[in-house]
Structure 1
């Protein structure tokens, strides 16, 4: 079994089957190899490592490597580009240690969360994908050892605990005015004058939800108005309200309203006919 999570800066795989690849290198990507269970036989620059569950290795760009996985083993692979990895450090390029220890249960829990979000169709929404990418980077920030976690190292601003009373009125106003347009985390963070990671944390502290879920809620409310006051088809309503697809619209609407758009319109029609 192979499952994949892809964001602009990160590729993640969960492999649970016999697997082998040939020696290769990545031009600009770091690779973090996390054995989940069983044995992973890893080769780097002609040296072989027998990795057990939780014994991780970090390859820098240009490091030649390969690995073999037996039939009764599982591994998680994370490839992060240089720009993404450097987000872990407040001062200069990130320099993670070559050998690491990461709890495989936490790694597996994280992957299930990231993959589940994309499987639910959120891969088609840029705002949602960027939030997932931020969660993966925060996982690495918390669990990798290196220059960013050394004694005296300064934490990047996005890793700070956000204040619940940080003013976000401009962002909320912007979302209400532009909810039907494609929105991105970096765009909203710039309006709040915060880094992407600090913005996500402070937004949730202030509103109780993530930027993506908040935007979905605003779009659903707009869709309700269109369903009530126009004769637009459900497909046209979905697109007019800013949803990336009709299927995404149905999922978000049902989760918020407890019924499908068609049921909502029919129920409203019955009420007005009384």
Structure 2
């Protein structure tokens, strides 16, 4: 791991602020620190293919992640997923922070290792409490880089690995069972499947065959199933089922439609099939789920 190895973000080249940053880098993790307070200019935004974790050292108000505004305070951490535009609408002065930037491929691989059932690789983009163990690891990385001893690179690589595991352990969340939807942001190998993901989201109530889905990506069925599972850690059919179940939960909560009609509208061809799949995923029948969560 080395310092100031040429890694840059767009803010580093804005208003000649590169001298205000210190960077500690290894192959899959970059730690970027503001060496002195900086100014975030009016309308500044950035977008890149890293997983980013913003740790404010001074208050950062109305920070934008896509169309969501987040107030960030010291003692918090804000995850930003690959491909999410983020920045500020209004100029902010005297801002200090730490950024953790992590290779998307390395992070998605780790998520699969830790959570074998993961089918989405998206962190919640909101301000969360900064855990003391993560804060301690960052401090150790900074200190080891500042005063390197024997075995420095090995130790820092191990610290970086541990940091990734703790970020996933504390902040990664499977899509919520009450509100699952195919993610807007696709990472790693996933963007190649955007046509079929969009089709699933729009046509989940229809009968969709593997042949139809493969054709949308210009692949044969065998290659489509194999590469889809590698990218999403689940089969195309299971992914589609999760979309159907997410919409079924919403209808059960928000409407008075019969159980059979909810199932039919969400692509399940019989009430018995809908109930069986729902119970296998949620551990309760659709009727029981409605009684516990209905808004009427």
TM-score (normalised: structure 1): 0.45
TM-score (normalised: structure 2): 0.42
